């Protein structure tokens, strides 16, 4: 499936504080789509902070939760949110912390473990087995295919390059002649989506297939783009620059780049995830604040907070995953503390 760029979310979590129990479900109506919507606090391991980064098509979500170790030190652990439970996926051997970035429809989870020398790619479920990496490799596993046969991400040495791991081997996917590339998703046909820096230092959304790296382009007059996710059919979403220099959420499909817009009144947006139906989620920002957003093809972007009833206590800041059922996960604040949320369904009947 896929993963999204999580560094800003993780950094925000590091600045937060502890949190107690969550609020009960809240219900609202989305008139323009005619759907009843429920928002759920996905919880945490011991009342601390949490964030969700992905959700599969059977409603299992993954992410991270802060937890106190035996010595009282606050650590972060990869977690699975499923059936009202928060399952600690632990840390790889030799690691002190971990984070789960992606889960496929078989429930296989990938991400990274934090070791003394940095991040190492990792799998967190028994079904995932061991990943075929040379011991000591630095990097992150960003996504796993639904078949479980391909893991993609970024290795940090000898250069920061996109990789694909298949059948016990790791391939460098190359780039656009610059110093860095990464891989963030893999579709049903094995095409990998990611990002690459060119020789001029510009970042571009790309796909990797058959040894070729394809620049997906940008919006008219723009100078860069990024990829965050792709669905099984090969639609890639992320962001692209406009001639004005503004950044808008964008989709890349069939050689076209489509501007997904911003929530009315905002100036910046980015898509973090897309489901099989082509519906994307992410974030839209004004000069003062950001909010979780829904991007439906052919419609104006929707502030997901507009689905919440007054007094819910939630502020939904960033949506990071969406499945075919219309369930959305991400990070928000509840009572002033950051928590993983699930919202849904958000799809038309």
DSSP codes of every residue in 229-263: EE-TT--EEEEEE-TTS-EEEEEEETTEEEEEE-S
Give yes or no for residue 226 having a pLDDT over 80.
yes
Give yes or no for residue 2 having a pLDDT over 80.
no
Q: What is the pLDDT of residue 72?
A: 86
Give yes or no for residue 16 having a pLDDT over 50.
no
| Residue corresponding to tokens 């298949």 | 166
Give yes or no for residue 243 having a pLDDT over 60.
yes
Angle formed at CA 141 by CA 207 and CA 210, multiple of 5 degrees: 30
Q: What are phi and psi of 127, to 5 degrees?
A: -65, -20
Give yes or no for residue 32 having a pLDDT over 60.
no
Tell me the three state secondary structure of residue 306.
helix
Query: For residue 129, what pLDDT band results from cuts at 50, 70 and 90?
Result: low
Comparing CA positions, the residue from 261, 252, 245, 164 lying closest to residue 204 is: 252
Could you tell me how many helices (H) and strands (E) the chain has, helices first? Answer: 1, 28
* Cβ–Cβ < 8 Å for 109, 91: no
Its CATH class, for the domain covering 7-22+41-344, is mainly beta
Please tell me the least confidently modeled range out of 71-75, 190-194, 217-221: 71-75
Q: What is the pLDDT of residue 82?
A: 94
Q: What is the pLDDT of residue 70?
A: 84
Give yes or no for residue 12 having a pLDDT over 50.
no
Mean pLDDT score of the chain:
87
Give yes or no for residue 136 having a pLDDT over 70.
no
Report the pLDDT averaged over residues 234-253.
97
pLDDT: which is higher, 22 or 298:
298
Q: What is the pLDDT of residue 325?
A: 93
Two structure tokens written together for 49? 């902070």
Q: What is the pLDDT of residue 193?
A: 98
pLDDT: which is higher, 14 or 314:
314
Please tell me the least confidently modeled range out of 95-99, 134-138, 165-169: 134-138
| Residue corresponding to tokens 């973090």 | 272
Comparing CA positions, the residue from 330, 318, 315, 324 lying closest to residue 345 is: 324
Query: For residue 47, what pLDDT band results from cuts at 50, 70 and 90?
Result: confident
| Residue corresponding to tokens 């910046």 | 268
Give yes or no for residue 338 having a pLDDT over 80.
yes
pTM score, whole prediction:
0.89
Domain ranges in the chain? 7-22+41-344
Helices assigned H by DSSP within the chain:
7-14
pLDDT tens-place string over residues 145-170: 998 889 999 999 888 999 999 877 88
Give yes or no for residue 182 having a pLDDT over 70.
yes
pLDDT tens-place string over residues 197-222: 999 999 999 999 999 999 999 999 99
Q: What is the pLDDT of residue 20?
A: 28
Query: For residue 109, what pLDDT band results from cuts at 50, 70 and 90?
Result: very high
pLDDT: which is higher, 24 or 100:
100
What are the angstrom distances between the C-alpha of 251 and each of 22, 41, 200, 254?
Answer: 35, 29, 24, 10
pLDDT tens-place string over residues 257-309: 999 999 999 999 999 999 999 999 999 999 999 999 999 988 999 999 999 87
Q: What are phi and psi of 18, to 5 degrees?
A: -75, 160
Radius of gyration of the chain (CA): 19
CA 192 from centre of chain: 15
Q: Exposure pattern of 71-102 as b/e (b: 16+ CB <10 Å)?
A: eeeebbbbbbbbeeebbebebbeebebbbbbb
Gap between the Cα atoms of 35 and 156, Å rounded? 44
Give yes or no for residue 340 having a pLDDT over 80.
yes
Gap between the Cα atoms of 190 and 234, Å rounded? 9
């Amino acid at each position: 499936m896929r993963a999204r760029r999580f560094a800003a979310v993780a950094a925000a979590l590091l600045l937060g504080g502890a949190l107690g129990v969550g609020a009960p479900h809240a219900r609202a109506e989305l008139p323009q789509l005619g759907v009843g919507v429920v928002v759920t606090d996905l919880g945490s391991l011991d009342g601390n902070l949490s964030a969700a980064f992905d959700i599969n098509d059977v409603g299992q979500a993954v992410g991270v939760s802060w937890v106190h170790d035996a010595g009282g030190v606050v650590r972060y652990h990869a977690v699975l949110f499923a059936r009202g439970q928060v399952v600690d996926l632990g840390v790889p051997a030799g690691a002190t912390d971990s984070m789960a970035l992606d889960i496929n429809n078989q429930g296989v989870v990938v991400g990274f473990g934090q070791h003394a020398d940095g991040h190492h790619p990792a799998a967190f479920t028994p079904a995932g087995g061991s990943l075929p990496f040379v011991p000591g490799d630095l990097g992150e596993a960003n996504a796993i295919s639904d078949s479980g046969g391909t893991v993609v991400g970024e290795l940090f040495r000898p250069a920061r390059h996109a990789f694909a791991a298949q059948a016990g081997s790791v391939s460098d996917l190359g780039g656009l002649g610059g110093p860095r590339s990464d891989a963030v998703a893999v579709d049903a046909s094995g095409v990998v989506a990611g990002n690459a820096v060119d020789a001029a230092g510009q970042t571009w959304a790309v796909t990797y297939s058959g040894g070729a790296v394809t620049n997906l382009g940008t919006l008219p007059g723009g100078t860069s783009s990024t990829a965050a996710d792709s669905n099984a059919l090969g639609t890639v979403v992320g962001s692209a620059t406009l001639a004005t220099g503004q950044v808008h959420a964008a989709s890349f499909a069939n050689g076209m780049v489509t501007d997904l817009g911003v929530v009315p009144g905002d100036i910046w947006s980015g898509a973090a995830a897309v489901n099989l139906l082509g519906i994307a989620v992410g974030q839209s920002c004004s000069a003062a604040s950001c909010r979780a957003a829904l991007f439906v093809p052919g419609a104006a972007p929707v502030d997901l907070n507009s689905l919440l009833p007054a007094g819910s206590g939630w502020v939904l800041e960033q949506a990071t995953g969406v499945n075919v059922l219309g369930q959305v996960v991400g990070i928000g604040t509840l009572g002033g503390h950051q928590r993983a949320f699930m919202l849904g369904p958000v799809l038309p009947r």
